[in-house]
Amino acid sequence: MRIDGIIFDKDGTLFDFRATWDVWALGVITELAEGDAGLAQRIADAAVFDLAAGAFRPESPIIAGTNREAAEAIGTALPEWSIEAIEQFLSARAAVAPLAPAVPLAPYLGGLAARGLALGVITNDTEAGALAHLGSAGVLAHFDFVAGFDSGHGAKPEAAPLLAFCHATGLAPARVVMVGDSRHDLLAGRAAGMQTIGVLTGTALTADLAPLADAVLPDIGHIPGWIDATIPA
């Protein structure tokens, strides 16, 4: 079936998760702990983050969760903080995270647009965070639709934010591909009646994504080749 649009997850998909968010998380934990090694370990445990390795463990709820869910997890180690205060802190720090694009994004997205594809980003980050990251990467203008978990459409793995992209662009879900690095992304795509592609620039392995994906690719750069090989001209 012909493809008319592609929805991308943001973190772990457009941006390499390990190179971006592991580095960010270590800085956040260090800042919150204020030199208290015991507190740093408690925050890391709450975030399911390996301090010695400087990396999220694959089972961390923060990887695919919303900013609110991240705040709730970390809040168990910071009882003197309100969840709202932690959420605001994380949002502010996330807006200036050290982004590592999975591929050179501007030429890549320009190539997809030249194929006549509508492009969107749906993330469980905040909308403001998504706009800030795409803007700082110089690629915001390439997207027809951007939504965060707080944009009023719900959060993945619900289908609603993906269907909001279809409503905004006038595309049929069956002719849209959802691309992501987590089961949340692919579950949302399946629920919306879309084709799904898993990418390995997050923390999930092929075995985690394959049962829910039409294809599992090393990174988003392989999508044009997949389209050419699998979709009739």
Closest among 52, 43, 35, 154 to 90, alpha carbons compared: 43
What would the pLDDT profile of 88-138 be if each residue is shown by its tens digit? 999 999 888 889 999 999 999 999 999 999 999 999 999 999 999 999 999
The confidence score (pLDDT) of residue 233 equals 55
Strand partners, 7: 120, 178
Cis? peptide before 218, omega within 30° of 0 = no
Structural domains of the chain, with CATH: 5-16+101-230 (3.40.50.1000), 18-94 (no CATH)
Sign of CA dihedral 114, 117, 118, 122: negative
Cis? peptide before 101, omega within 30° of 0 = no
CB 184 within 8 A of CB 166: no
CB 8 within 8 A of CB 119: yes
pTM of the predicted model as reported, rounded to 2 decimal places: 0.87
Q: What is the DSSP-derived secondary structure letter of residue 173?
A: G
Percent of the chain whose pLDDT exceeds 90: 91
What would the pLDDT profile of 155-212 be if each residue is shown by its tens digit? 999 999 999 999 999 999 999 999 999 999 999 999 999 999 999 999 999 999 999 9
- Give burial (CB, 10 Å; 0-12/13-18/19+) of 144: middle
φ and ψ at residue 88, rounded to 5 degrees = -65, -40
d(CA 163, CA 31): 38
196: left (phi over 0), alpha (psi -120 to 50) or beta: beta
d(CA 223, CA 213): 13
